[in-house]
């Protein structure tokens, strides 16, 4: 298995010039690349698939050169990043820098930093203050407000916006050319509509559709039915129509067979429910916030999500 | 010994004596716990018949009923005549029993075996069936008679219970004899053996059949299991039976589960005392059967796929810089297609997707 198989990774921009749509951000960062010592810690905030991680990598390469990986620590939500990791792994990494190697500092990229506990963030804040000669942090978050205030005020914040239609369609077109895949313009626009400015989803949907032949609206629709997102939609439909047994079977398939993290199932359920016109959306948001809270509190995810499925009946619009 | 409804029971006996192929089926109507089921079982016993019973705890879809009853023979291997007893037919609701009513309506017209049905109410969807049946009504039994009956049982069992305690039980039961007997046993065992403990199945079944919330609490308190197990079994039973008021009950269960999660996290074990009340709310006064398996069996059957999916998810995750959720929800399905199309070779995955 090679990463080249997956287009989302194969077509991840390697340079600033390849990055779509984020012109202002890129221009400011280019300035930092020229004068690395002027660069403060950075906080990238914005919706998924808009280039946050990509741009962090590009920036690291621009500043650190071809061997950037040796001087970069990348931690994402699937690594343990509790207070212990901050006090050991991160602290040690920032302790010294080998100036003879010609690099200005080391770089720590913390993806999904908004998922870190506030304890861990507080510990990190100290390190950010004390290590600024040796290291720069690039924190990446979907929602900047989940980052504690003292950290925010020590970072230059870059807000990423959803990508616009032209730039996504253009990028998809380029990919099709390189892959020798035939595609229709209306199909690419349709992909944009259903992925809502998330380039990661857009590229993935493109590749799924391309496995079926020419990229047409029809093939995009067919391929959409193959994602687990679609399974979640179907599960909601079953629960609302009263076939609770089938709905719950699907839930357990998603959790136990396909291994979807429970927060993702909850999130996809929420999006699915809010996209319908036969539910009371105010009641839905209250219901989902309760269940989200319960998952955080350490309740059993499968029991909670089963109960949530049962309760969907009660938020049907009257 | 049976209590009350003497003439109704006599009619039941007359019906079976006169029965021959082509006779009308019997339809018993009356509130719960007045002896409909017992009357049928006693009658079958007296006539040495075998009762083939289906009640609310069985799936009763059209297909399932056809499978069970379609070719039923009039006698069993022991040479006993067979009697089909469809109990709680007014519970043939919703999608879970799709087509059940239509099947029964056809089946009773052409049956070669005697059929008895019982229901609490004359539901609208039963009109057609009732029209084709001989209807016998069972009535509530007067409280005074039940009290006497309970006294009789108590004395036979060597128990001493105060009169007003018995009257209290009957009053709260809505004159349901079965319920009264359960309560009598429960009270008495509770009083005599202070430390009586119930198994998973006993505790859950008794809690479900408790009309009164307090009784359900009583059983769940004396349920010999750790809190983790209690939550899991209550969840399994509730989700399996899907009572009509599932949303309300599910909410109580979710609350209990949340409480348990908090207790485990904070080690505040004193909070445990609230747990049983919440579980009792989820279980009390509900029709259903005990079940301890949380994972639906269709999913258990596919358990072997789990490891394979976990393997692909991990491999892909190592190669792309994105969260696990995206990998599992979008990249793995893409990978499946690539395998299906022969673009990527992976035999394990091929087996999973059946390509
Ligand atoms: N602005 C962009 N220009 C070009 N490609 C992008 C852009 N944003 C995202 N992508 C594509 O989407 C994938 C995910 O992008 P990523 O930077 O990881 O998103 P984020 O970190 O914002 O969630 C990348 O591999 C790339 O293929
Ligand atoms: Mg990212």
Choose which residue among B320, B322, B323, B326 to substitute to test ligand 1 binding: the one with the highest number of ligand atoms within 8 A of its C-beta.
B322
Which range of B48-52, B104-108, B202-206 scores highest in mean pLDDT? It is B202-206
Give the Å distance between the CA of A130 and the centre of ligand 2.
26
- The tens digit of pLDDT for each residue in B307-347 reads 999 999 999 998 888 888 999 999 999 999 999 888 888 88
Residue identified by tokens 């005599």 is: B192
Distances (CA, A) of A288 to A124, A248, A272, A274, A276: 31, 17, 12, 11, 15
Buried b (16+ CB within 10 A) or exposed e, A237-249: ebbbeebbbbbbb
Q: What is the CA radius of gyration of chain B?
A: 26
Q: In this structure, is residue A10 part of a structural domain?
A: no
Using the beta-carbon criterion (under 8 Å), do B95 and A112 form an inter-chain contact? no
Residues A153, A247, single domain; the answer is: no
Q: If you average pLDDT over residues A7-14, what whole number do you get?
A: 94
Residue B179 · residue B211 · CB < 8 Å: yes
User: What's the CA gap between A107 and A61, in Å, rounded?
Assistant: 10
pLDDT bin (cut points 50, 70, 90) of residue B128 is confident
Q: Whose CA is nearest to atom 25 of ligand 1?
A: A12
Residues 151-210, chain A, touching B (beta carbon < 8 A): 200-201, 204, 207-208
Q: Token pair of B313, please?
A: 């998810």
Domain ranges of chain B: 6-137, 140-196, 198-290, 303-353
Residues with CB under 6 A from ligand 1: A 8-9, 11-13, 19-22, 48-54, 163, 171, 199-200, 203; B 321-322
- Among A101-110, A287-296, B255-264, the minimum mean pLDDT is found in A101-110
The burial class, CB within 10 Å (0-12 / 13-18 / 19+), for A66 is exposed
For residue B246, which residues of chain A lie inside 8 Å, CB to CB? 244, 310, 313
Q: Among residues A159, A181, A208, which one ends one of the domains? A: A159
Does the beta carbon of A2 lie under 8 angstroms from any beta carbon of chain B?
yes
What backbone torsions phi and psi does residue A153 show, to the nearest 5 degrees?
Answer: -75, -10
In the DSSP assignment, the letter for residue A215 is B
Using the beta-carbon criterion (under 8 Å), do A249 and B317 form an inter-chain contact? no
Residues A148, A230, single domain; the answer is: no
User: What's the CA gap between B184 and B169, in Å, rounded?
Assistant: 8
- Among A86-90, A166-170, A244-248, the minimum mean pLDDT is found in A86-90
Using the beta-carbon criterion (under 8 Å), do B296 and A201 form an inter-chain contact? no
- The tens digit of pLDDT for each residue in B173-192 reads 778 887 788 777 766 655 43
- Its domain, for residue A299, covers 226-315
- pTM of this structure: 0.68
- Contacts (Cβ under 8 Å, ≥6 apart) of B131: none
Residue B287 · residue B91 · CB < 8 Å: yes
pLDDT bin (cut points 50, 70, 90) of residue A317 is confident
User: What's the CA gap between B245 and B249, in Å, rounded?
Assistant: 7
**CB atoms < 10 A from the CB of A89, how many?**
16
Q: Which atom of ligand 1 is nearest to the CA of A56?
A: 17
Q: How near does any CA of chain B get to the CA of A7, in Å?
A: 10
Q: In this structure, is residue A62 part of a structural domain?
A: yes
Q: What's the pLDDT score for residue A1?
A: 45
User: What's the CA gap between A276 and A126, in Å, rounded?
Assistant: 46
Residue B129 · residue B108 · CB < 8 Å: yes
Q: How near does any CA of chain B get to the CA of A229, in Å?
A: 7
The burial class, CB within 10 Å (0-12 / 13-18 / 19+), for B218 is buried
pLDDT surpassing 50 at residue B194: no
Using the beta-carbon criterion (under 8 Å), do B309 and A259 form an inter-chain contact? yes
Q: Which residues pair with A201 in a beta bridge?
A: none
**Mean pLDDT taken over chain B:** 86
**CB atoms < 10 A from the CB of A166, how many?**
12
Using the beta-carbon criterion (under 8 Å), do B338 and A257 form an inter-chain contact? no
Q: How near does any CA of chain A get to the CA of B252, in Å?
A: 9
**Among the residues of chain A, which ranges form H helices?**
7-10, 23-34, 52-64, 83-85, 91-93, 118-130, 149-152, 165-179, 185-195, 199-210, 217-224, 228-240, 244-252, 262-274, 281-296, 301-311
| B344 Cα distance to chain centroid | 48
Q: What's the pLDDT score for residue B38?
A: 85
Give me the CATH number covering residue A266: 1.20.272.10
Give the Å distance between the CA of A271 and the centre of ligand 1.
21
- Among A82-96, B101-115, B189-203, B309-323, the minimum mean pLDDT is found in B189-203
What is the Cβ-side half-sphere exposure of residue B86, based on CA atoms within 13 angstroms?
Answer: 28
Pick from A112, A297, A303: CB nearest B323:
A112
Count of the separate structural domains present in chain A: 2
Sign (positive/negative) of CA torsion B281, B287, B293, B295? negative
Q: Token pair of A160, please?
A: 């990423």
Q: In this structure, is residue A154 part of a structural domain?
A: yes
Does the beta carbon of A314 lie under 8 angstroms from any beta carbon of chain B?
yes
Residue identified by tokens 């179907």 is: A234
Domain B6-137 is in which class?
alpha beta
Residues A253, A131, single domain; the answer is: no
Residue identified by tokens 């989302």 is: A8
Domain B140-196 has CATH 3.90.1310: no
Choose which residue among A3, A8, A12, A175 to substitute to test ligand 1 binding: the one with the highest number of ligand atoms within 8 A of its C-beta.
A12
Q: Which residues pair with A108 in a beta bridge?
A: A73, A137
For residue A204, which residues of chain B lie inside 8 Å, CB to CB? 330-331, 334
Residue B26 · residue B115 · CB < 8 Å: yes
Give the Å distance between the CA of A44 and the centre of ligand 2.
10
For residue B305, which residues of chain A lie inside 8 Å, CB to CB? 257
**Mean pLDDT taken over chain A:** 90
Q: Residue B59's closest CA among B297, B250, B229?
A: B297
Distances (CA, A) of B36 to B30, B48, B61, B287: 8, 18, 23, 17
User: What's the CA gap between B132 and B44, in Å, rounded?
Assistant: 22
Residues 6-65, chain A, touching B (beta carbon < 8 A): 6, 8-9, 12, 48, 53, 57
Complete DSSP assignment for B76-124: -TTSPEEEEEE--GGG--TGGGTTHHHHHHHHHHH-SS-EEEEESS--G
**Among the residues of chain B, which ranges form H helices?**
6-18, 36-46, 62-69, 100-110, 127-131, 143-156, 163-173, 177-192, 200-209, 213-221, 227-241, 246-266, 275-283, 297-301, 304-319, 324-326, 332-340, 347-353
Does the beta carbon of A307 lie under 8 angstroms from any beta carbon of chain B?
yes
Does residue B261 or residue B65 have the better pLDDT?
Answer: B261
Q: Residue A211's closest CA among A49, A5, A11, A10?
A: A5
For residue A313, which residues of chain B lie inside 8 Å, CB to CB? 246-247
Does the beta carbon of A246 lie under 8 angstroms from any beta carbon of chain B?
no
In the DSSP assignment, the letter for residue A72 is E
pLDDT surpassing 60 at residue A2: no
User: What's the CA gap between B86 and B76, in Å, rounded?
Assistant: 18
Q: Among residues A159, A180, A210, which one ends one of the domains? A: A159
Q: Among residues A107, A131, A159, which one ends one of the domains? A: A159
Does the beta carbon of A262 lie under 8 angstroms from any beta carbon of chain B?
no
Q: Which ligand is nearest to the CA of A197?
A: 1
Pick from B232, B323, B343: CB nearest A76:
B323
Q: Token pair of A89, please?
A: 């792994």
Pick from B262, B306, B325: CB nearest A298:
B262
Q: Which ligand is nearest to the CA of A12?
A: 1
Q: How near does any CA of chain B get to the CA of A114, in Å?
A: 13
Residues A126, A239, single domain; the answer is: no
User: What's the CA gap between B255 and B231, in Å, rounded?
Assistant: 10
Q: In this structure, is residue A284 part of a structural domain?
A: yes
pLDDT surpassing 50 at residue A222: yes
Give me the CATH number covering residue A118: 3.40.50.300
ipTM of the complex: 0.89
For residue B235, which residues of chain A lie inside 8 Å, CB to CB? 300, 303, 306
| A223 Cα distance to chain centroid | 21
Does the beta carbon of B96 lie under 8 angstroms from any beta carbon of chain A?
yes
């Amino acid at each position: 298995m090679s990463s080249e198989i997956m287009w989302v990774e194969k077509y991840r921009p390697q340079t600033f010039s390849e990055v779509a749509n984020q012109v202002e951000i890129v221009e400011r960062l280019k300035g930092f690349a020229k004068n690395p010592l002027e660069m403060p810690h950075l906080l990238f905030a914005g919706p998924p698939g808009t280039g946050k991680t990509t741009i962090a990598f590009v920036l690291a390469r621009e500043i650190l050169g071809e061997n950037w990986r040796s001087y970069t620590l990348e931690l994402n939500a699937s690594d343990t990043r509790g207070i212990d990791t901050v006090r050991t792994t991160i602290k040690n990494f920032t302790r010294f820098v080998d100036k003879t190697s010609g690099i200005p500092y080391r770089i720590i990229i913390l993806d999904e930093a908004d998922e870190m506990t506030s304890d861990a963030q507080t510990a990190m804040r100290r390190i950010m203050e004390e290590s600024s000669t040796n290291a720069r942090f690039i924190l990446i978050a979907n929602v900047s407000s989940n980052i504690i205030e003292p950290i925010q005020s020590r970072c230059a914040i870059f807000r990423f916006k959803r990508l616009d239609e032209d730039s996504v369609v253009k990028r998809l077109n380029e990919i099709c050319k390189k892959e020798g895949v035939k595609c229709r313009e209306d199909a690419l626009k349709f992909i944009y509509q259903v992925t809502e400015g998330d380039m990661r989803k857009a590229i993935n949907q493109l590749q799924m559709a391309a496995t079926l032949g020419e990229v047409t609206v029809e093939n995009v629709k067919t391929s959409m039915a193959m994602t687990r997102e679609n399974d979640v939609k179907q599960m909601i439909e079953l629960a609302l129509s009263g076939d609770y047994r089938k709905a719950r079977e699907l839930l357990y398939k998603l959790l136990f067979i396909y291994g979807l993290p429970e927060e993702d199932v909850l999130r996809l359920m929420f999006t699915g429910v809010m996209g319908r016109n036969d539910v009371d959306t105010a009641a839905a948001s209250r219901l989902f916030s309760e269940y989200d809270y319960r998952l955080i509190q350490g309740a059993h995810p499968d029991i909670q999500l089963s109960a949530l499925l049962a309760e969907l009946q009660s938020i049907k619009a009257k | 010994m049976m209590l009350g409804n003497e003439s109704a029971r006599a009619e039941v006996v007359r019906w079976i004596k006169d029965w021959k192929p082509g006779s009308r089926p019997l339809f018993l109507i009356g509130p719960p716990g007045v002896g409909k089921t017992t009357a049928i079982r006693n009658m079958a016993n007296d006539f040495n018949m075998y009762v083939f019973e289906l009640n609310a705890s069985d799936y009763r879809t059209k297909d399932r009923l056809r499978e069970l009853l379609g070719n039923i023979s009039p006698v069993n291997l022991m040479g006993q005549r067979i009697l089909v007893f469809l109990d709680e037919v007014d519970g043939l609701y919703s999608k879970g029993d799709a087509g059940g009513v239509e099947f029964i309506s056809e089946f009773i017209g052409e049956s070669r075996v005697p059929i008895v049905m019982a229901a609490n109410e004359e539901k609208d969807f039963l009109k057609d069936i009732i029209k084709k049946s001989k209807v016998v009504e069972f009535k509530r039994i007067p409280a005074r008679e039940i009290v006497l009956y309970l006294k009789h049982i108590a004395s036979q069992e060597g128990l001493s219970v105060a009169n007003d305690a018995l009257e209290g039980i009957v009053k709260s039961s809505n004159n349901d004899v079965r319920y009264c007997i359960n309560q009598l046993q429960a009270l008495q065992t509770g009083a005599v053996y202070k430390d009586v403990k119930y198994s998973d199945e006993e505790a859950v079944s008794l809690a479900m059949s408790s009309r009164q919330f307090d009784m359900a609490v009583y059983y769940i308190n004396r349920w010999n299991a750790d809190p983790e197990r209690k939550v899991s079994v209550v969840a399994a039973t509730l989700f399996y039976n899907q009572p009509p008021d599932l949303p309300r009950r599910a909410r109580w269960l979710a609350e209990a589960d949340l409480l348990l999660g908090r207790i485990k996290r904070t080690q505040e074990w004193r909070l445990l005392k609230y747990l049983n009340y919440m579980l009792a709310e989820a279980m009390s006064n509900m029709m259903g059967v005990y079940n301890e398996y949380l994972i639906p069996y269709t999913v258990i059957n596919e358990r072997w796929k789990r490891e394979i999916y976990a393997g692909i998810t991990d491999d892909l995750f190592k190669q792309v810089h994105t969260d696990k959720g995206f990998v599992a929800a979008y990249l793995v399905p893409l990978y499946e297609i690539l395998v299906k199309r022969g673009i990527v070779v992976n035999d394990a995955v091929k087996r999973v997707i059946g390509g």
